[in-house]
Amino acid sequence: MKTIECDVVVVGAGPAGLAAAEAARLAGAERVLIVERDTRAGGILQQCIHPGFGLKMFGEELTGPEYAGRYQERADKAGVELMTCTTALELRDRELVCANSDGILNVRFGALVLAMGCRERTRANLVIPGARPSGIYTAGTAQKLINLYGDKVGREIVILGSGDIGMIMARRLTLEGAHVKAVVELLPFLAGLTRNKVQCLDDFGIPLLLSHTVIDIDGVDRLTSVTIAPVDEKRRPILDKAEKIPCDTLLLSVGLIPENELSRTGGIALSPITRGPLVNQFKQTSNPAVFACGNVLHVNDLVDHVSVESAEAGRCAALFAANRLPSASAFSTVAGPGIRYVCPQTVVADGGADVTLFFRTLVPGRRTVLRCVSGGKELARKTCIRTSPGTMESLVIPKDAVAALNDSIEVSCEHGEVLA
């Protein structure tokens, strides 16, 4: 068994891991190592060949591979070590157990950054009744088969869920010559970003059926049809309005789950809402030597946000490894009226820097006032033309207010007009 020592070890070489590792090196960590189970860095961005990445970070529209490539170059230049084809198996106290073709590898660390990303919810998560033929894919699997392997997944397509990957695959499949018959969404509003509806569905005349769901699946060897039905306000299918749609392929774009199996082996406390670790603004988890960032922490809609958040996680991990991360009393953040969750879940009253709270609203609305209040005092506020649960929102607490914290922080939202 081989043992290596490093200041900061990062699990996962996707956009989160690359940004965290670069920042850790820039913050002074001597040896920074990324362990990655794939054959190369880039993570899921490798299969996201569509444009729309980097508008905030680089001020230009990049594809996923281009965005990942830039961060890989930056990590290389900063002197980050990358170990591919290596799986992290178990998180112990200051030790990560990994496996690769050489056998078992123990990595002793000063600090560790969890950056494993997320995976897709499947048919099993939704419990859709019916037959079990071939032709049912998660949208991301279909994306990988088409974009990385050049395979065909089907000709007549129905997509369940209006998540971003589903809409992007609706366009991709149309361009590949398939016929996308409908995108079916259980909720009365779009799950993903508006720009994806415009550029992926509207551009190609693909119908979006809101407040509808798939209630049955037919087919012996291959899928032959799905039955869809509208749902009432309690999301129960209205059976006498059910309609059978002949198709050979069903894609599921019904949500993402942070991949925290490794975090659980280390006893890291997880949030039941985000399904990611509970963290403070340093992205520090319930184990002070363990940090988390990117989609393993909470599912993001823009990689640009992931890069910023992950660089902060990497920087703080490096400071912790050098015994330089400040500590002070921590106060909870609370998801108040209209808010689903807030990340980070606690804020340490350290005035070193402004603190950005990321959160999602419960329903879409216009002229939305977002507020953050602590001890009866408003710490931040902004008004948005439009908000949607599919778009992550943020508020920045100025560092002076962070230093003066003496109570929990509540984030709330008030819509001028509700759009649900």
Partner 1 sequence: MKKTITCTVCPQGCEIEAEYTCDADIVVRGNSCPRGERYAKDECLAPKRTFTSSVRIDAPGRRMLPVRTSAPVAKEMLLPCAEAAHGIRVEGHVHVGDVIRKDFLGTGTDLVASMTL
Q: With binding defined as CB under 8 A, does residue 418 bind partner 1?
A: no
Q: With binding defined as CB under 8 A, does residue 63 bind partner 1?
A: yes
98 vs 178, which CB is nearer to partner 1?
178
Q: Say how far apart CA 149 and CA 360 lie, in whole Å.
A: 35
What DSSP designation does 191 have?
S
Task: For residue 75, report the phi and psi dihedrals to the nearest 5 degrees.
Answer: -65, -45
146 vs 397, which CB is nearer to partner 1?
146
Which of 176, 261, 378, 400 forms a contact with partner 1 (CB under 8 A)? Answer: 176
What DSSP designation does 231 have?
B
Least distance in angstroms from the C-beta of 48 to partner 1: 9
Q: Segment 109-148, which members bind partner 1 (CB under 8 A)?
A: 146-148
Q: DSSP letters of 350-397?
A: -TTS-EEEEEEESS-EEEEEEEEEETTEEEEEEEEEEE-TTS-EEEEE
Q: With binding defined as CB under 8 A, does residue 86 bind partner 1?
A: no
Least distance in angstroms from the C-beta of 332 to partner 1: 28
Q: Say how far apart CA 251 and CA 268 lie, in whole Å.
A: 33
Which of 1, 124, 127, 175 forms a contact with partner 1 (CB under 8 A)? Answer: 175
**What character string, x for contact with partner 1 (CB under 8 A) and - otherwise, covers 375-404?**
---------xxx-x--x-------------
Least distance in angstroms from the C-beta of 140 to partner 1: 15
**What character string, x for contact with partner 1 (CB under 8 A) and - otherwise, covers 331-370?**
----------------------------------------
In contact, 178 and 155? CB cutoff 8 Å: yes
Q: With binding defined as CB under 8 A, does residue 157 bind partner 1?
A: no
Which of 26, 49, 131, 363 forms a contact with partner 1 (CB under 8 A)? Answer: 49
Match 């830039």 to its residue by tokens. Answer: 70
C-alpha closest to that of 186 among 213, 158, 166, 167: 213
Q: Say how far apart CA 250 and CA 166 lie, in whole Å.
A: 11
Q: With binding defined as CB under 8 A, does residue 205 bind partner 1?
A: no
126 vs 145, which CB is nearer to partner 1?
145
Looking only at the bridges linking them, the beta strands covering 103-114 and 290-292 are parallel
Least distance in angstroms from the C-beta of 46 to partner 1: 7
Q: With binding defined as CB under 8 A, does residue 221 bind partner 1?
A: no
Q: Say how far apart CA 263 and CA 73 lie, in whole Å.
A: 28
Q: Say how far apart CA 334 and CA 5 lie, in whole Å.
A: 38
Least distance in angstroms from the C-beta of 174 to partner 1: 8
Structure tokens at 156: 């007549």
Q: With binding defined as CB under 8 A, does residue 1 bind partner 1?
A: no
* R_g of the chain, CA atoms, integer Å: 22
Match 């990994």 to its residue by tokens. Answer: 98
**What character string, x for contact with partner 1 (CB under 8 A) and - otherwise, covers 2-41?**
-------------------------------------x--
Q: Say how far apart CA 159 and CA 165 lie, in whole Å.
A: 10
Q: Could you give the 3-state DSSP secondary structure of residue 137?
A: strand
In contact, 181 and 158? CB cutoff 8 Å: yes
**What character string, x for contact with partner 1 (CB under 8 A) and - otherwise, covers 300-319?**
-xx-----------------
Count the residues of the shown chain that bind partner 1, applying the rule CB under 8 A. Answer: 36
62 vs 402, which CB is nearer to partner 1?
62
Residue 417, beta-bridge partner list: 366
Report the interface residues with partner 1, using CB under 8 A.
Answer: 39, 46, 49-51, 55, 61-66, 69, 146-150, 175-177, 193-195, 197-199, 202-203, 301-302, 384-386, 388, 391
